[in-house]
Chain A
Amino acid sequence: MRILFLEDDQEIGEWTVSGLSAAGHVVDWLQNGRDALLAATTRDYDVLVFDRMTPDLDGLSALKTLRGARITTPLILLTALGTVDDRVEGLEAGADDYLSKPFAITELLARITALSRRGKAESTQAVTRLAHQGLELDLLAQKCSYNGDAILLNPKEFRLLEVLMRSKGRVQTRAMLLERVWDISFEPSTSVVETHMSRLRNKIEKPFGVDFIKTVRGSGYVFGD
C-alpha cells in the first residue's frame, strides 16, 4: 500500500517508516504539514498517517483543509495527546481513525489495513449476511449459526463476532475491538477483551472442534485465514 506519513520527529519517523516498510508498504515520509498537504493533494495514496502537531501546518489543520477540498483518502491521526476530547475532535475534523503515542507498530499496521479495506468495500455495499466456512451471521435477524445449528450469542458477543468477520484476515487489536464493540476509548486494567473473546470462542469453536479466531501474540486477534 502507498502511505503518506507526516511526522516531524526524526527517531519516531525512522522507526515507523521501517516498521511500515517491513510490512510491505511504500511510505512517503514528510516532516512538515505544508509539504504533506501538497503531496496529499497531488499524488495518490491509499492511506494518510498524520501526526497532529507538526511544524508549518499542523496535522489537524492539514486534515481539515484536505476534507474541505473533498479529498477523502482514509486518514489516521497520531497524537501525543491521548484524551477522549482530542480523539473526538480529531474524528470530527474528518479523521477516520486516531492513535495516541506511544503506539506499537502492530497497532498502526492493523489500523492501516482496516482503513484501506473499509474505504473500498464495506462502506459501499450494505451487508446483511456474513459467512465463513459454515459459520453464518444474519445481521438483520441478529442470529448466528454453524452449519445450520443455531448458536445463542448475547448482543456484545454477536457484535464482537460481526466486527471480526467483517475484517476477515485482518488483525484487530484489543484497542480497536474495545472501540468498535464496547465503544470504550480507555484502556481497562482488567482483561475485558480476552474474557469476552474466550466466551465467544467457547460458543462458536469449542462445540464444533473448529478454529476461526487466531490470537496474534502481542497485537490482537484475526478471524479466518
Chain B
Amino acid sequence: MSALRQAMVLSLSFLVLLSIGGALFEDFLTKELQTEIDTELKQEFAGLSRELTTLGQVPDDFASGGLPLNDETAYGFLRSDGTVMGPVKIEVFAADGLRTLQDEEIFPEDVQQSIMEALEKAFDTESDDESDVVELPFDGEFDTLWRAYVGPALDGQLVVFSPTVGGLVAELSTVILIALVLISIPTMAVGVVFGLRAQRRLDRIGQGYERIADGDLTVRLAPKVVKDDLDLLTQRIDGATERLQTTLRQMSEFSANIAHDLRTPLTRLRIHLDQANEANDLAAHLNSSISQTDNIIAIFDAIQRIARLKTGERRAKFKALDLGNVASQVHDIYEAVAEDEGRTLICNVSNPVIVDGDINLLIQLLSNLIENAIRHTEVGATITLSVRGRWLSVSDDGPGIPEEECEKVLEPLYRLDHSRNTPGAGLGLSLVKVIADLHEANMTLSKADTNQQKGLLVKIEFRNPSSTLASPGAVSD
C-alpha cells in the first residue's frame, strides 16, 4: 500500500504547507490592518480634539448613550470634574496612548448589558422586522478586542476606540480554512485514485516478478502500449527476463552437451584402464588413458575459459591494437603449420583499423578459426585470413556448414553430426564467439563461395575503432 500512503502523505503535506502559509498570511494581514486602524484612530482623535477646541467646550450629548454597534469608531470623554461621557469605564483613561482592550475592560456593566440585548434582538431569527436588525460589527460576536487611543483634549481626556482586526482576520482565516478543506478533499481524492492506480500497477509488476523469481521465465510484464516510465521499466525487465531465459536454455543445453562430450573420453578411459588391468599391453593402454585424460582436461579448460570470458572482466585490460598486426602475427604462426598439413594459408590485409582489444585473445580467436579450417578441409585446401578495414575474416574452400546450422555451431559444444568423430572438443567456435562478443564485434558464418555453395566464411566485424590513440608500442606488443 505504499503508493496510497504516498498519496496521503503528499496531500497532507500540501495541507500543512497551506496552513503554514495561511498563518503567515494572517499574521501579516493582522499587522497591516492594525497599523491602518491605529492611523485612523489617531486621525479621528486629532479631528475630534480639534472640533472640541473650536467649540471651546464638550457638548452635553457628546457620545452619550452611543453604542459601538456599527463598524465605526466610538468615543468617550473624561471631564476635569471626573465625570465620564460615553459608554466607557473610567479606567480607560488611566494611561495615554494606544492600547488593546477587551470588552469588559472598556465597557461598564450597563453598556455591556445593552449591547447583549441588542445582539439577542439581532439574532432573533424569528423576527421578521428587518428594520430592527442592527448592523453588528463582525458577525456580532461580542468578544471583540478593541483598540483605543487616549489623549488630552480641551480640559479633559478623550478616548477614541474601534474594534481591532482580530475578528476580521479570524473571519478571513476561517474563509481560507474552509477553502483549504474544500480544495484538499478533491486533491486527496485525486491523489488516492492515482495512488491506487499506481499501486495496482506496482502490485502487478511485483507479483509478476515474484513468479519470475520462482522460475517462470515466460512471464512478461510490459503492456502492449508503452505510455510512461513505469511501462518502459517493465519493458526493460522483460528484456532482461528474455535474455535470462535464453541464457538458461543455452546453459541447460550446454550442460547436456558437456555430459555427452565428457562421456565419450570417460568411457574410453574406463575401457583402457579395464584392459590395462588385464595387463596384455599395459604401456599402450596407460598412454591412451593419459591422452583421454588430457582430452577431458582440455574440455574443462575450454569451458572454464568461456565462463571467465563471459563475465567481461577482461575488457578492462583492452589496449589499442592494429588488426593488421594481429593477422600477420597469426599468419607467422600458422603459415608453416598449414603448409606441413598440406594446406595453404594466405594473409590479405588492406586498410586495417585500430581497435580496442586484447591481443592474446584475438590471436586465440584467429588460431581457433585457422585450426578449425585445417581440421575440416581436405589436403590441398586454401585458407584465407584477411583484414579489410574493420572486417576480420577467415575463409576456406572446404565443405562449409549448412545454412541452417550456422547459428547453432556457435553454441558451446555444438558439433555437426558428421564431425562428431573428429578430434576437438567442439568448443572452438563458441570460444571464438565469446571472444568476438567481448570485443563487441559481430560474428557471422556463411558460405565462402555462394555460387558453388561451399567453403566456410567466418566474418568478424568490429564495431568501434579504438577511441584511444594508438601508440606504436601498444600495437606491437
> Which A residues contact B (CB, under 8 angstroms)?
81-85, 88, 102, 154-156, 182-192, 195-196, 198-199
| From A81, A102, A183, A189, contact of B423 by CB (8 A) | A189
> Which B residues contact A (CB, under 8 angstroms)?
293, 297-298, 301, 304-305, 308-309, 313-314, 317, 332-334, 336-337, 340-341, 359-361, 363-364, 367, 371, 374-375, 423-424, 428
A196 to B335, CA, bound (A): 10
Q: Which residues of A contact B371 (CB under 8 A)?
A: 188-190
| From A186, A189, A192, contact of B424 by CB (8 A) | A189
Q: Which residues of A contact B298 (CB under 8 A)?
A: 187
The main secondary structure of chain A at its interface with chain B is loop
| A85 and B313 contacting across the interface, CB-CB below 8 Å | yes
Chain A's closest residue to B287 (CB) is A218
A-B contact pairs, 7 of them (CB 8 A): A82-B304, A83-B309, A154-B332, A185-B360, A187-B301, A188-B371, A195-B340
Known pairs A81-B304, A156-B333, A195-B336 / 17 extra A-B pairs, C-beta < 8 Å: A83-B309, A84-B305, A84-B308, A85-B314, A102-B297, A183-B359, A183-B360, A184-B363, A186-B305, A187-B298, A188-B371, A189-B423, A190-B371, A190-B374, A191-B337, A195-B337, A196-B336
| B305 and A88 contacting across the interface, CB-CB below 8 Å | no
Q: Which residues of A contact B337 (CB under 8 A)?
A: 190-192, 195
Q: A156-B332, A187-B298, A196-B336 are in contact. Are A83 and B363 (CB under 8 A)?
A: no
Give chain B nearest CB distance to A204 CB in angstroms: 15
Chain A's closest residue to B309 (CB) is A83
| B360 and A84 contacting across the interface, CB-CB below 8 Å | yes
Give chain B nearest CB distance to A143 CB in angstroms: 19
| B336 and A199 contacting across the interface, CB-CB below 8 Å | yes
A198 to B336, CA, bound (A): 10
Q: Please provide the 3 A-B residue pairs with the shortest distance between their CB atoms, ordered closest to farther.
A: A83-B308, A195-B337, A195-B336
A154 to B329, CA, bound (A): 12
| A83 and B305 contacting across the interface, CB-CB below 8 Å | yes
| A188 and B313 contacting across the interface, CB-CB below 8 Å | no
Q: Which residues of A contact B314 (CB under 8 A)?
A: 84-85
Q: Which residues of A contact B308 (CB under 8 A)?
A: 83-85
A39 to B126, CA, bound (A): 113
Q: Which residues of B contact A102 (CB under 8 A)?
A: 293, 297
A179 to B308, CA, bound (A): 20
Give chain A nearest CB distance to B413 CB in angstroms: 16
Chain A's closest residue to B302 (CB) is A186
Give chain A nearest CB distance to B220 CB in angstroms: 36
Q: Which residues of A contact B336 (CB under 8 A)?
A: 195-196, 199
Give chain B nearest CB distance to A81 CB in angstroms: 7
| A88 and B364 contacting across the interface, CB-CB below 8 Å | no
A188 to B367, CA, bound (A): 7
| A191 and B363 contacting across the interface, CB-CB below 8 Å | no
| A190 and B341 contacting across the interface, CB-CB below 8 Å | yes
Q: Which residues of A contact B297 (CB under 8 A)?
A: 102
Q: Which residues of A contact B367 (CB under 8 A)?
A: 184, 186, 188
| From B304, B374, B423, contact of A83 by CB (8 A) | B304
A198 to B293, CA, bound (A): 28
Q: Which residues of B contact A198 (CB under 8 A)?
A: 340
